[in-house]
């Protein structure tokens, strides 16, 4: 999981001049200090959000946009679940057919998914990921390198993402043998 924290640390570094990055660095350090024990590896989507789910008659029927998949501990599937929930944080960006994190985790469990330990750490990591991506995209929009007013509308939620991530990471269990 250290690679996952480092990956998003590098994304956040590109947006570091943005005042929106705020406490993102603090959250990244807290996550790195509380890495969970390694778990069996699987594949995660990496951009699991309502816009990448195909619906038919109100039911999820398919998943598209596999541009961010990667191998990660199977417990990271909750990162995908948290992406769905977090992307609803910006008030005017509500999904047409949202899937709750609890429903998604329940589906993983029903399908024989891994035990869910240290959920707070993975939720904090999801906040860090989305906050880092948002900081970079807001910076790209504001500098005219990739204009997208949607990110301007999302910008006020970034400090909330990092603050909530810090709160969750603070409750996460430190890795065995470390002080947290």
Q: Which fold has domain 2-171?
A: Aminoglycoside 3'-phosphotransferase; Chain: A, domain 2 (3.90.1200)
> Phi/psi of residue 151, each to 5°?
-70, -30
In this prediction, residue 55 carries a pLDDT of 79
- Res 28: pLDDT: 93
Domain ranges for the chain, please list them. 2-171
If the chain, 180 residues long, is cut into consecutive pieces of 10 residues, what is the mean pLDDT of each piece?
Answer: 83 74 89 79 68 78 76 54 45 53 75 72 89 89 89 89 93 62
Sign of the dihedral defined by the CA atoms of residues 5, 174, 164, 22, in that order: negative
Beta pairing partners, 59: 56
pLDDT at residue 94, as a whole number: 46
Q: What is the pLDDT of residue 1?
A: 65
Cα–Cα nearest to 101, from 168, 34, 162, 151 = 168
Per-residue confidence (pLDDT) for residue 96, from 0 to 100: 52
The pLDDT value recorded for residue 53 is 79
| 125-to-58, 110, 122, 148 alpha-carbon distances in Å | 30, 24, 5, 25
């Amino acid at each position: 999981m250290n690679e996952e924290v480092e990956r998003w640390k590098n994304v956040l570094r590109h947006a570091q001049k943005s005042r929106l990055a705020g406490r993102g660095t603090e959250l990244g350090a807290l996550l790195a200090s509380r890495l969970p024990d390694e778990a069996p590896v699987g594949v995660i989507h990496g951009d699991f959000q309502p816009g990448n789910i195909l619906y038919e008659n109100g039911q999820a029927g398919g998943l598209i946009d596999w541009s961010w998949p990667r191998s990660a501990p199977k417990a990271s599937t909750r990162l995908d679940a948290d992406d769905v929930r977090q992307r609803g944080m910006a008030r005017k960006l509500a999904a047409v057919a949202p899937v709750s994190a609890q429903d998604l985790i329940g589906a993983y469990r029903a399908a024989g998914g891994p035990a869910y330990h240290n959920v707070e750490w993975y939720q904090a990591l999801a906040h860090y990921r989305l906050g880092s991506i948002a900081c970079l995209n807001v910076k790209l929009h504001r500098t005219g390198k990739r204009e997208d007013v949607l990110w301007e509308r999302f910008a006020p939620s970034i400090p909330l993402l990092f603050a909530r991530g810090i709160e969750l990471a603070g409750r996460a269990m430190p890795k065995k043998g470390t002080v947290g």
